[in-house]
Amino acid sequence: MNVSKGKIEKSLLIKIAFIIALIACLTSFVSGPMALIGGFVFYYLFGHPYLKFNQKATNWLLKIAVVGLGFGMNIEETLTAGKDGLALTIISIVLVLVIGFLIGKFLKLQKETTHLISSGTAICGGSAIAAIAPIIKASEKDISIALGTIFLLNSIALLIFPPIGLFFSLTEHQFGLWCAIAIHDTSSVVGAANAYGDEALKVATAVKLARALWIIPLSIVSVFLFKGKNDTLKIPWFILLFIAAILFNSYFSLPNLITNSITSASKLILVLTLFLIGAGLSIDKIKSAGWKPMILGISLWVIISVISLVMITLY
């Protein structure tokens, strides 16, 4: 009787701890990488008290976060500000997706994992992965591997890009453009550019925001690429709402308080989702993934970093 009571109490404590961890993710003190790692550690130490609901919750929260982020984007301002890097943006996105597909084929990676890592590298890291994952019906393992790879490389870029920029004597304008093209997530782009100078920060932010708009055509292309033989072709509703949110924010002049609140809440929801993704990832899943996804991520990152740096310095 005491043993049974002890198990019930332990189970209750784990549930309470899990809920507290979820609430913590909705504060500004927990970053995306911290949430992903925290979820994985929680699962490893205590298990997942709500595992059967994890996949559905992750899927819905990702969609909600993506739609909310649309309210932080103004299509006219973003396109105008990002004209400087438009050609380089288009070239780099196409190049990364094509090379990613070829490397994925060579490494015999899962098609979903390859597409997620390539999409995250090509456009805007975690946001692109969040938008693409529900469309291609990616598993928690695919999402976790892609996000883990992207977050690790983002952290490295944040540290090494400013010294590399100084070594090659890049101007602030050149460095800002390079950051926007070669670093995945907007947060890491802003962090690296801010360390280099004010002009670098302005250029990097403008080009990166314009680059983020390419989530829309990539999402539509992904629908075609991953449509099953018996599936009818339809654009996912949350992508339509994402576009509607951008247009609504662009042409109806919503108060900054409202748009900032929505985008801030969406970012927190995304952090919460990352915790759930980590909590659904077991060591067995990581072992089954192997080293190939990391090779793909590193290869794409190095290729786009080198090519964009050469193009920026020469042209």
Structural domain tally of the chain?
Answer: 1
Cα dihedral 115, 116, 122, 124 in deg (nearest 10): 160
Q: State how far the Cα of 223 lies from the Cα of 241, in Å rounded to an integer.
A: 16
Instruction: Tell me the three state secondary structure of residue 291.
Output: coil
Model confidence, pTM: 0.70
Give Cβ neighbours of residue 33 (< 8 Å, ≥ 6 apart): 151, 154, 155
Tell me the per-residue pLDDT of 11-55, one tens digit each, with 9 for 90 and over.
899 999 999 999 999 998 887 778 878 888 998 899 889 888 887
Q: Which two tokens stand for residue 282?
A: 């077991």
Residue 82 has pLDDT above 80, yes or no: no
Instruction: Give the best-scoring range by mean pLDDT among 100-109, 215-224, 290-299.
Output: 100-109
pLDDT band, very low/low/confident/very high, at 300 (cuts 50, 70, 90): very high
Q: State how far the Cα of 133 lies from the Cα of 218, in Å rounded to an integer.
A: 12
Instruction: Tell me the three state secondary structure of residue 235.
Output: coil
pLDDT of residue 296: 92
Q: Which two tokens stand for residue 152?
A: 């690790």
Q: State how far the Cα of 196 lies from the Cα of 203, in Å rounded to an integer.
A: 11
| Residues 66 and 134: beta-carbon distance below 8 Å | no
| Residues 251 and 225: beta-carbon distance below 8 Å | no
Instruction: Tell me the three state secondary structure of residue 307.
Output: helix
Q: State how far the Cα of 95 lies from the Cα of 120, in Å rounded to an integer.
A: 13
Instruction: Tell me the three state secondary structure of residue 165.
Output: helix
Residue 2 has pLDDT above 70, yes or no: no
Q: In this predicted model, which residue has the larger pLDDT, 192 or 209?
A: 192
How far from the centroid of its chain's Cα atoms is residue 147's Cα?
Answer: 6
- Among 66-80, 136-150, 159-173, whose mean pLDDT is lowest? 66-80
- Mean model confidence pLDDT for the chain: 83
What's the whole-number mean pLDDT along residues 173-180?
Answer: 91
| Residues 259 and 84: beta-carbon distance below 8 Å | no
Residue 228 has pLDDT above 70, yes or no: no
What's the whole-number mean pLDDT along residues 301-311?
Answer: 92
Cβ neighbours around 6 below 10 Å, total: 10
pLDDT of residue 242: 81
pLDDT of residue 165: 93
Tell me the per-residue pLDDT of 233-262, one tens digit each, with 9 for 90 and over.
555 677 778 888 888 888 887 888 888 899
pLDDT of residue 58: 81
- pLDDT above 70 covers what percent of the chain? 89
- Residue-number span of the structural domain to which 131 is assigned: 2-314
pLDDT of residue 114: 92
Q: State how far the Cα of 105 lies from the Cα of 98, in Å rounded to an integer.
A: 11
Place of tokens 């952290």: 155
Residue 167 has pLDDT above 70, yes or no: yes
Q: What sign results for the dihedral spanned by CA atoms 227, 232, 233, 235?
A: negative
